[in-house]
Amino acid sequence: MTCGGGQGRGETPPPPLILTIGSPLADTVVRSTFNAYVATVVPGSLYKISITDQTDDTDLLIFGADSSFSTLLKCSVDNTSIIGTSSEDCVIVAPSSTLYFGVDGTFLNGGSATYTIDIEQLATRSLILSIPLPDSKTQRSAAVYTVTVSQGVAYTIAITGLSDDADLHVFGNDNTFSGHALCSPDNTRFIGTTPEDCTLTSSGNTLYFIVDGIFSSMATVQYTALATPTPVIQQPANEGTVGSPITLSLNTPVPGQVANFGTSYYSVGSLNAGARYTLSILGLSANANMTVFGSDNSYANPVSCQNTNFMGTIPEDCTLQAPQTGTIYFTVTAKTTSGGVAYFNLIDPGP
Protein backbone atom coordinates (compact mmCIF):
# COMPACT_ATOMS: atom_id res chain seq x y z
CA MET A 1 0.00 0.00 0.00
CA THR A 2 1.01 3.59 -0.49
CA CYS A 3 1.33 5.94 2.44
CA GLY A 4 -1.05 8.63 1.23
CA GLY A 5 -0.64 11.33 -1.37
CA GLY A 6 1.49 14.40 -1.59
CA GLN A 7 -1.01 16.60 0.21
CA GLY A 8 -0.41 14.68 3.44
CA ARG A 9 3.16 16.03 3.22
CA GLY A 10 2.09 19.63 3.71
CA GLU A 11 1.93 20.98 0.12
CA THR A 12 -0.21 24.04 -0.60
CA PRO A 13 -3.79 22.83 -1.14
CA PRO A 14 -5.61 23.73 -4.36
CA PRO A 15 -9.00 25.45 -4.12
CA PRO A 16 -11.47 22.71 -3.14
CA LEU A 17 -14.34 21.71 -5.41
CA ILE A 18 -17.73 21.50 -3.68
CA LEU A 19 -19.35 18.05 -3.83
CA THR A 20 -23.06 17.46 -3.26
CA ILE A 21 -24.11 14.48 -1.14
CA GLY A 22 -25.37 11.68 -3.37
CA SER A 23 -24.13 13.22 -6.64
CA PRO A 24 -21.13 11.28 -8.05
CA LEU A 25 -18.66 13.35 -10.05
CA ALA A 26 -16.36 12.21 -12.86
CA ASP A 27 -13.02 13.99 -12.59
CA THR A 28 -9.38 13.89 -13.73
CA VAL A 29 -6.16 14.21 -11.73
CA VAL A 30 -2.75 14.93 -13.26
CA ARG A 31 0.36 13.10 -12.09
CA SER A 32 2.05 14.70 -9.06
CA THR A 33 -0.97 16.92 -8.37
CA PHE A 34 -3.84 16.76 -5.94
CA ASN A 35 -7.58 17.41 -6.37
CA ALA A 36 -9.26 18.86 -3.30
CA TYR A 37 -12.96 18.52 -2.39
CA VAL A 38 -15.29 19.79 0.29
CA ALA A 39 -18.81 18.75 1.30
CA THR A 40 -21.35 20.11 3.74
CA VAL A 41 -22.42 17.39 6.18
CA VAL A 42 -24.25 16.75 9.45
CA PRO A 43 -21.84 16.53 12.40
CA GLY A 44 -21.89 13.11 14.06
CA SER A 45 -23.47 11.37 11.05
CA LEU A 46 -21.80 8.57 9.09
CA TYR A 47 -20.66 9.17 5.52
CA LYS A 48 -18.97 7.06 2.87
CA ILE A 49 -16.52 8.76 0.52
CA SER A 50 -15.41 6.66 -2.45
CA ILE A 51 -13.48 6.73 -5.70
CA THR A 52 -14.35 4.18 -8.38
CA ASP A 53 -13.66 3.54 -12.07
CA GLN A 54 -10.04 4.70 -11.81
CA THR A 55 -7.88 4.43 -14.93
CA ASP A 56 -4.62 4.61 -12.95
CA ASP A 57 -3.27 4.48 -9.38
CA THR A 58 -5.14 7.32 -7.68
CA ASP A 59 -5.39 7.56 -3.88
CA LEU A 60 -8.25 8.78 -1.71
CA LEU A 61 -7.18 11.02 1.18
CA ILE A 62 -9.46 12.10 4.04
CA PHE A 63 -8.73 15.23 6.10
CA GLY A 64 -11.94 15.55 8.13
CA ALA A 65 -12.38 19.12 9.40
CA ASP A 66 -8.85 20.18 8.36
CA SER A 67 -9.33 22.87 5.69
CA SER A 68 -5.55 23.10 5.24
CA PHE A 69 -5.49 19.53 3.87
CA SER A 70 -2.47 18.82 6.11
CA THR A 71 -3.46 16.02 8.51
CA LEU A 72 -5.07 12.77 7.47
CA LEU A 73 -8.03 11.60 9.57
CA LYS A 74 -8.63 7.99 10.62
CA CYS A 75 -11.57 6.29 8.90
CA SER A 76 -13.92 3.85 10.63
CA VAL A 77 -13.76 1.70 7.49
CA ASP A 78 -10.49 2.43 5.69
CA ASN A 79 -9.92 1.15 2.16
CA THR A 80 -7.72 4.01 1.00
CA SER A 81 -4.28 4.36 -0.62
CA ILE A 82 -4.43 0.94 -2.29
CA ILE A 83 -1.83 0.21 -4.97
CA GLY A 84 -3.29 -0.01 -8.48
CA THR A 85 -6.74 0.80 -9.83
CA SER A 86 -8.83 -0.79 -7.07
CA SER A 87 -11.82 1.23 -5.89
CA GLU A 88 -11.19 2.97 -2.57
CA ASP A 89 -13.45 4.24 0.20
CA CYS A 90 -13.62 5.66 3.68
CA VAL A 91 -16.55 5.45 6.09
CA ILE A 92 -16.26 8.24 8.62
CA VAL A 93 -18.21 9.97 11.38
CA ALA A 94 -18.34 13.63 10.37
CA PRO A 95 -16.35 15.63 12.97
CA SER A 96 -17.88 18.96 11.91
CA SER A 97 -20.32 20.45 9.41
CA THR A 98 -17.68 20.39 6.66
CA LEU A 99 -15.64 17.47 5.35
CA TYR A 100 -12.41 17.96 3.42
CA PHE A 101 -10.95 15.20 1.27
CA GLY A 102 -9.03 14.72 -1.94
CA VAL A 103 -7.63 12.50 -4.67
CA ASP A 104 -3.86 12.26 -5.06
CA GLY A 105 -2.01 11.62 -8.34
CA THR A 106 1.46 11.12 -6.89
CA PHE A 107 1.68 7.45 -7.85
CA LEU A 108 0.19 7.57 -11.34
CA ASN A 109 2.00 5.57 -13.99
CA GLY A 110 0.73 7.81 -16.77
CA GLY A 111 0.29 11.54 -17.10
CA SER A 112 -3.28 11.66 -15.76
CA ALA A 113 -6.15 9.47 -14.56
CA THR A 114 -9.91 9.68 -14.53
CA TYR A 115 -12.16 8.46 -11.72
CA THR A 116 -15.57 8.96 -10.13
CA ILE A 117 -15.74 10.47 -6.66
CA ASP A 118 -18.82 10.32 -4.45
CA ILE A 119 -19.96 11.04 -0.90
CA GLU A 120 -23.06 9.35 0.54
CA GLN A 121 -24.76 9.78 3.90
CA LEU A 122 -25.36 6.40 5.55
CA ALA A 123 -28.64 5.50 7.24
CA THR A 124 -28.76 3.11 10.19
CA ARG A 125 -31.04 0.06 10.20
CA SER A 126 -32.13 -1.82 13.32
CA LEU A 127 -31.89 -5.60 13.19
CA ILE A 128 -34.09 -7.84 15.31
CA LEU A 129 -32.02 -10.48 17.07
CA SER A 130 -32.09 -13.89 15.33
CA ILE A 131 -34.21 -12.65 12.41
CA PRO A 132 -32.26 -12.64 9.11
CA LEU A 133 -32.57 -9.47 7.02
CA PRO A 134 -32.18 -9.66 3.23
CA ASP A 135 -30.56 -6.44 2.05
CA SER A 136 -28.58 -4.92 -0.82
CA LYS A 137 -26.20 -2.02 -1.30
CA THR A 138 -24.53 -0.30 -4.23
CA GLN A 139 -20.77 -0.14 -4.59
CA ARG A 140 -20.78 3.53 -3.57
CA SER A 141 -22.91 3.07 -0.45
CA ALA A 142 -22.70 0.99 2.73
CA ALA A 143 -25.12 -0.37 5.31
CA VAL A 144 -24.99 0.48 9.02
CA TYR A 145 -26.76 -1.84 11.47
CA THR A 146 -27.56 -1.90 15.16
CA VAL A 147 -29.01 -4.78 17.15
CA THR A 148 -30.22 -4.86 20.75
CA VAL A 149 -28.47 -7.56 22.83
CA SER A 150 -27.74 -8.56 26.43
CA GLN A 151 -24.53 -7.71 28.22
CA GLY A 152 -22.13 -10.59 28.83
CA VAL A 153 -23.61 -12.87 26.14
CA ALA A 154 -21.70 -14.17 23.10
CA TYR A 155 -23.18 -13.31 19.70
CA THR A 156 -22.36 -14.11 16.09
CA ILE A 157 -22.82 -11.37 13.49
CA ALA A 158 -22.85 -12.68 9.92
CA ILE A 159 -23.47 -11.90 6.27
CA THR A 160 -24.25 -14.76 3.90
CA GLY A 161 -25.78 -15.37 0.48
CA LEU A 162 -23.59 -12.72 -1.13
CA SER A 163 -24.15 -12.04 -4.82
CA ASP A 164 -20.71 -10.36 -5.04
CA ASP A 165 -17.92 -9.12 -2.77
CA ALA A 166 -19.03 -7.34 0.41
CA ASP A 167 -17.16 -6.97 3.69
CA LEU A 168 -18.31 -7.16 7.29
CA HIS A 169 -16.94 -4.57 9.74
CA VAL A 170 -17.90 -5.11 13.39
CA PHE A 171 -17.51 -2.36 16.00
CA GLY A 172 -18.95 -4.17 19.01
CA ASN A 173 -20.62 -1.80 21.45
CA ASP A 174 -18.79 1.27 20.11
CA ASN A 175 -21.41 3.71 18.80
CA THR A 176 -18.64 6.11 17.78
CA PHE A 177 -17.29 3.59 15.25
CA SER A 178 -13.77 4.42 16.43
CA GLY A 179 -12.24 0.96 16.06
CA HIS A 180 -13.05 -2.58 15.00
CA ALA A 181 -14.09 -5.02 17.71
CA LEU A 182 -12.00 -8.03 18.65
CA CYS A 183 -13.77 -11.02 17.10
CA SER A 184 -12.96 -14.57 18.13
CA PRO A 185 -13.02 -16.13 15.69
CA ASP A 186 -12.72 -13.34 13.13
CA ASN A 187 -13.95 -14.44 9.71
CA THR A 188 -14.40 -11.02 8.10
CA ARG A 189 -13.21 -9.11 5.04
CA PHE A 190 -12.76 -12.07 2.70
CA ILE A 191 -12.46 -11.68 -1.07
CA GLY A 192 -15.45 -12.69 -3.20
CA THR A 193 -18.77 -14.21 -2.11
CA THR A 194 -17.46 -16.15 0.89
CA PRO A 195 -19.83 -15.64 3.85
CA GLU A 196 -18.36 -13.72 6.77
CA ASP A 197 -18.93 -13.75 10.52
CA CYS A 198 -17.65 -12.39 13.79
CA THR A 199 -18.20 -13.88 17.23
CA LEU A 200 -17.80 -11.66 20.28
CA THR A 201 -19.11 -11.20 23.80
CA SER A 202 -21.14 -8.02 24.21
CA SER A 203 -20.09 -5.58 26.92
CA GLY A 204 -23.24 -3.49 26.46
CA ASN A 205 -26.79 -3.63 25.17
CA THR A 206 -26.27 -2.67 21.51
CA LEU A 207 -23.97 -4.03 18.82
CA TYR A 208 -22.92 -2.01 15.77
CA PHE A 209 -21.64 -3.19 12.40
CA ILE A 210 -21.22 -2.04 8.79
CA VAL A 211 -21.45 -3.93 5.48
CA ASP A 212 -19.40 -2.35 2.69
CA GLY A 213 -19.44 -3.41 -0.97
CA ILE A 214 -16.69 -1.16 -2.36
CA PHE A 215 -14.84 -4.09 -3.96
CA SER A 216 -17.88 -5.48 -5.73
CA SER A 217 -17.62 -5.95 -9.49
CA MET A 218 -21.39 -5.41 -9.76
CA ALA A 219 -23.38 -2.20 -9.28
CA THR A 220 -25.38 -3.76 -6.41
CA VAL A 221 -24.53 -6.49 -3.90
CA GLN A 222 -27.25 -8.66 -2.36
CA TYR A 223 -26.77 -10.45 0.97
CA THR A 224 -28.49 -11.48 4.19
CA ALA A 225 -27.44 -9.91 7.50
CA LEU A 226 -27.96 -11.65 10.82
CA ALA A 227 -27.05 -11.36 14.49
CA THR A 228 -27.87 -14.24 16.84
CA PRO A 229 -26.63 -15.78 20.10
CA THR A 230 -23.64 -18.01 19.47
CA PRO A 231 -24.41 -21.72 19.97
CA VAL A 232 -22.75 -23.03 23.12
CA ILE A 233 -22.73 -26.84 23.29
CA GLN A 234 -20.33 -28.43 25.75
CA GLN A 235 -20.13 -31.86 24.09
CA PRO A 236 -21.33 -31.68 20.47
CA ALA A 237 -22.91 -34.91 19.17
CA ASN A 238 -24.13 -36.11 15.81
CA GLU A 239 -27.77 -35.30 15.06
CA GLY A 240 -30.13 -36.76 12.49
CA THR A 241 -29.65 -39.82 10.32
CA VAL A 242 -29.98 -40.64 6.62
CA GLY A 243 -33.49 -41.94 7.18
CA SER A 244 -34.49 -39.35 9.76
CA PRO A 245 -32.71 -36.01 9.22
CA ILE A 246 -33.24 -32.95 11.39
CA THR A 247 -35.92 -30.82 9.72
CA LEU A 248 -35.10 -27.11 9.45
CA SER A 249 -37.33 -24.15 8.65
CA LEU A 250 -36.82 -21.24 6.28
CA ASN A 251 -35.49 -17.93 7.72
CA THR A 252 -34.83 -19.43 11.15
CA PRO A 253 -31.29 -19.80 12.55
CA VAL A 254 -31.15 -23.16 14.33
CA PRO A 255 -28.24 -24.33 16.53
CA GLY A 256 -26.53 -27.42 15.17
CA GLN A 257 -23.86 -29.82 16.38
CA VAL A 258 -21.69 -32.62 15.11
CA ALA A 259 -19.30 -34.95 16.92
CA ASN A 260 -15.59 -35.21 16.29
CA PHE A 261 -15.14 -36.66 12.76
CA GLY A 262 -18.89 -37.33 12.71
CA THR A 263 -21.75 -36.34 10.39
CA SER A 264 -25.08 -34.65 11.09
CA TYR A 265 -27.99 -34.88 8.64
CA TYR A 266 -30.47 -32.12 7.77
CA SER A 267 -33.33 -31.34 5.42
CA VAL A 268 -35.42 -28.28 4.65
CA GLY A 269 -38.81 -28.58 2.96
CA SER A 270 -41.77 -26.55 1.74
CA LEU A 271 -39.55 -24.67 -0.69
CA ASN A 272 -40.79 -23.21 -3.97
CA ALA A 273 -39.58 -25.41 -6.83
CA GLY A 274 -37.16 -23.52 -9.08
CA ALA A 275 -36.63 -20.66 -6.62
CA ARG A 276 -33.12 -19.94 -5.35
CA TYR A 277 -32.16 -20.53 -1.72
CA THR A 278 -28.95 -20.23 0.30
CA LEU A 279 -27.99 -22.85 2.91
CA SER A 280 -25.44 -21.64 5.47
CA ILE A 281 -23.49 -22.86 8.48
CA LEU A 282 -22.28 -19.95 10.61
CA GLY A 283 -20.67 -19.31 13.99
CA LEU A 284 -18.55 -22.48 13.84
CA SER A 285 -16.65 -23.33 17.00
CA ALA A 286 -14.13 -25.45 15.03
CA ASN A 287 -13.60 -26.89 11.55
CA ALA A 288 -16.72 -28.36 9.92
CA ASN A 289 -17.87 -28.63 6.31
CA MET A 290 -21.27 -28.63 4.65
CA THR A 291 -22.18 -30.96 1.79
CA VAL A 292 -25.41 -30.35 -0.15
CA PHE A 293 -27.25 -33.18 -1.93
CA GLY A 294 -30.14 -31.32 -3.53
CA SER A 295 -33.19 -33.60 -3.76
CA ASP A 296 -31.19 -36.78 -3.03
CA ASN A 297 -32.56 -38.08 0.29
CA SER A 298 -30.05 -40.95 0.19
CA TYR A 299 -27.23 -38.42 0.71
CA ALA A 300 -25.21 -40.16 -1.99
CA ASN A 301 -24.82 -37.60 -4.77
CA PRO A 302 -23.57 -34.14 -3.74
CA VAL A 303 -24.19 -31.06 -5.85
CA SER A 304 -21.56 -28.48 -6.70
CA CYS A 305 -21.26 -25.55 -4.28
CA GLN A 306 -18.85 -22.62 -4.43
CA ASN A 307 -18.43 -21.72 -0.77
CA THR A 308 -17.89 -25.04 1.03
CA ASN A 309 -14.97 -27.20 2.19
CA PHE A 310 -13.13 -24.32 3.83
CA MET A 311 -10.56 -24.82 6.57
CA GLY A 312 -10.98 -23.75 10.19
CA THR A 313 -14.01 -21.82 11.39
CA ILE A 314 -14.72 -20.06 8.08
CA PRO A 315 -18.49 -20.05 7.52
CA GLU A 316 -19.88 -21.83 4.48
CA ASP A 317 -22.88 -21.47 2.21
CA CYS A 318 -24.38 -22.94 -0.92
CA THR A 319 -26.89 -21.26 -3.22
CA LEU A 320 -29.03 -23.44 -5.47
CA GLN A 321 -32.45 -23.83 -7.02
CA ALA A 322 -35.01 -25.81 -5.06
CA PRO A 323 -35.88 -29.13 -6.76
CA GLN A 324 -39.39 -30.09 -7.86
CA THR A 325 -39.84 -31.97 -4.60
CA GLY A 326 -39.42 -28.72 -2.65
CA THR A 327 -36.95 -30.35 -0.24
CA ILE A 328 -33.16 -30.00 -0.02
CA TYR A 329 -30.90 -32.36 1.92
CA PHE A 330 -27.46 -31.59 3.33
CA THR A 331 -24.92 -32.77 5.90
CA VAL A 332 -22.36 -31.15 8.19
CA THR A 333 -19.18 -33.12 8.87
CA ALA A 334 -16.67 -32.30 11.61
CA LYS A 335 -12.98 -32.35 10.80
CA THR A 336 -11.42 -31.55 14.13
CA THR A 337 -9.82 -33.19 17.14
CA SER A 338 -11.39 -30.69 19.52
CA GLY A 339 -14.33 -32.89 20.49
CA GLY A 340 -16.95 -31.79 18.01
CA VAL A 341 -18.33 -28.58 16.51
CA ALA A 342 -21.20 -26.26 17.40
CA TYR A 343 -22.69 -23.88 14.78
CA PHE A 344 -26.02 -22.68 13.53
CA ASN A 345 -27.84 -23.49 10.32
CA LEU A 346 -29.64 -20.90 8.24
CA ILE A 347 -31.73 -21.31 5.10
CA ASP A 348 -32.97 -18.15 3.41
CA PRO A 349 -34.19 -17.11 -0.06
CA GLY A 350 -31.85 -15.93 -2.84
CA PRO A 351 -29.75 -14.41 -4.11
Contact partners, residue 305, CB within 8 Å, separation at least 6: 290, 292, 316, 317, 318, 319, 320
Q: What pLDDT is recorded for position 11?
A: 56
**Phi-psi map region of 26: left, alpha, beta (phi>0 left; psi -120 to 50 alpha):** beta
Q: What pLDDT is recorded for position 13?
A: 66
Q: What pLDDT is recorded for position 6?
A: 40
Pairwise CA distance, residues 188 & 198, whole Å: 7
Q: What pLDDT is recorded for position 338?
A: 73
pTM of the model: 0.94
User: How many other CB atoms sit within 10 Å of the CB of residue 307?
Assistant: 22
Which of 274, 287, 284, 161 is CA-nearest to residue 221? Answer: 161
pLDDT along the chain (351 residues), means of 10: 38 84 97 96 98 97 96 97 96 98 96 98 97 96 98 98 98 97 97 97 98 95 98 95 98 97 97 98 97 98 97 97 98 87 96 92
> Are the C-beta atoms of 115 and 54 separated by less than 8 Å?
yes
Pairwise CA distance, residues 65 & 63, whole Å: 6
Name all domains of the chain by residue range, CATH numbers in brackets: 6-121 (2.60.120.380), 124-229 (2.60.120.380), 246-349 (2.60.120.680)
